[in-house]
Amino acid sequence: MKISHTLQRLTNRGPRMILSTMTPTKEHSLPAMNWQSATETGDSIKMIRRAITTTLNSAITGLLFVSAASACGPGQLQAPFVIQQLSLDPHNALESFSSANIANDLGNAANNTTASIVGMWSIQFLSEGNTSHNPAIPDGAMIDFGYNQWHSDGTEILNSGARTPAQENFCLGVWQKTGHSTYQLNHFALNYDPTTGTFIGRINIVETVTLSPGGTTYSGTFVYTVFDTKGNKTDRLTGQISAQRVTVDTTAP
pLDDT of residue 60: 35
92 phi/psi in degrees, rounded to 5: -100, 95
The ranges of the chain with pLDDT < 70 are: 1-78, 113
Q: What domain range includes position 42? A: 2-70
**Do 115 and 212 lie in a common domain?**
yes
For residue 161, give the 3-state DSSP assignment. coil
**Do 111 and 228 lie in a common domain?**
yes
Let me know: does 215 contact 106? Beta carbons within 8 Å: no
**Do 122 and 191 lie in a common domain?**
yes
**Do 122 and 242 lie in a common domain?**
yes
Q: Per the domain annotation, does 76 fall within a domain?
A: no
**Do 138 and 215 lie in a common domain?**
yes
Reported pTM: 0.68
Q: Per the domain annotation, does 153 fall within a domain?
A: yes
Q: Per the domain annotation, does 63 fall within a domain?
A: yes
For residue 252, give the 3-state DSSP assignment. coil
pLDDT of residue 32: 46
- The Cα 147–Cα 171 span in angstroms is 11
Q: Per the domain annotation, does 83 fall within a domain?
A: no
Total domains, the chain? 2
For residue 74, give the 3-state DSSP assignment. coil
Domain boundary among the residues 70, 87, 115 is at: 70
Q: Per the domain annotation, does 92 fall within a domain?
A: no
Q: Per the domain annotation, does 89 fall within a domain?
A: no
**Do 231 and 187 lie in a common domain?**
yes
Query: What CATH number corresponds to the domain at position 119?
Result: 2.40.128.120
What residues have CB less than 8 Å from 204, skipping those under 6 apart?
186, 187, 188, 189, 224, 225, 227
Q: Per the domain annotation, does 23 fall within a domain?
A: yes
**Do 59 and 163 lie in a common domain?**
no
| DSSP structural state of residue 32 | P
pLDDT digits (tens, 9 = 90+) for 104-115: 888 888 887 678
